[in-house]
């Protein structure tokens, strides 16, 4: 099976569009950003935008997913074990990601952001669980990844509401219960 290489020009154009969107989102609320704004900032035409993205919501989802994946550094976590240090690191990435977005993507897009965070976490956590528990029931591992991803996301929302302690301090109080509750002995 051969891997299809993506034309570097396509990658550059997608990055140009994404960077323009991120730049604009620092100056305007998402609801006020138009495709015209993005194409002007990226110095491309509308047809080029629509070649790469269905609409501005597709761009939002793909840009946020990419930023989060880069922040989570998927390859690093694929090689790590699911333990206290990794859970703390993941939680810090989630809270930093949410704080960075708090000034950019306002109300009305929380569901999209929440889904992106949970989906990315689920994939990463599942891969880590499979690596650690290769003989375990696959459905059980998938469900555990779902529960952990929703739990970490929910904890990040609660942290954001209280926001009176550092993220690592906040999550560390729950980790012993998570680890002993999972029962994987890590």
Res 182: pLDDT: 52
Domain ranges of the chain: 7-53, 55-182
Res 123: pLDDT: 87
Task: For residue 60, give the nearest of 96, 16, 17 by alpha carbon.
Answer: 17
Whole-angstrom Cα distance, residue 24 to residue 13?
A: 16
Q: Of 3.30.450, 1.20.1530, 3.30.56, 1.10.10, which CATH number belongs to 7-53?
A: 1.10.10
Res 39: pLDDT: 96
* C-alpha triplet 158, 104, 151: angle, nearest 5°: 25
Res 109: pLDDT: 66
Q: Which residues of the chain have pLDDT under 50?
A: 1, 184-186
Res 60: pLDDT: 85
């Amino acid at each position: 099976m051969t891997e299809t290489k993506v034309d570097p020009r396509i990658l550059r154009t997608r990055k140009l569009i994404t960077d323009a969107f991120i730049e604009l989102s620092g100056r305007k609320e998402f609801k006020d950003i138009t495709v015209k704004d993005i194409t002007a900032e990226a110095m491309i035409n509308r047809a080029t935008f629509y070649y790469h993205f269905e609409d501005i919501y597709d761009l939002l989802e793909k840009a946020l997913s990419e930023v989060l994946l880069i922040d989570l550094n998927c390859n690093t976590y694929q090689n790590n074990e699911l333990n206290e240090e990794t859970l703390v690191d993941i939680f810090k990435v989630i809270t930093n990601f949410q704080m960075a977005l708090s000034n950019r993507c306002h109300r009305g897009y929380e569901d999209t952001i929440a889904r992106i965070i949970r989906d990315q976490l689920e994939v990463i956590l599942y891969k880590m669980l499979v690596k650690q528990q290769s003989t375990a029931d696959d459905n059980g591992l998938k469900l555990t990844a779902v529960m952990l991803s929703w739990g970490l996301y929910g904890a990040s929302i609660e942290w954001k509401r209280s926001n009176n302690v550092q993220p690592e301090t906040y999550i560390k109080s729950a980790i012993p219960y998570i680890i002993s509750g999972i029962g994987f002995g890590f």
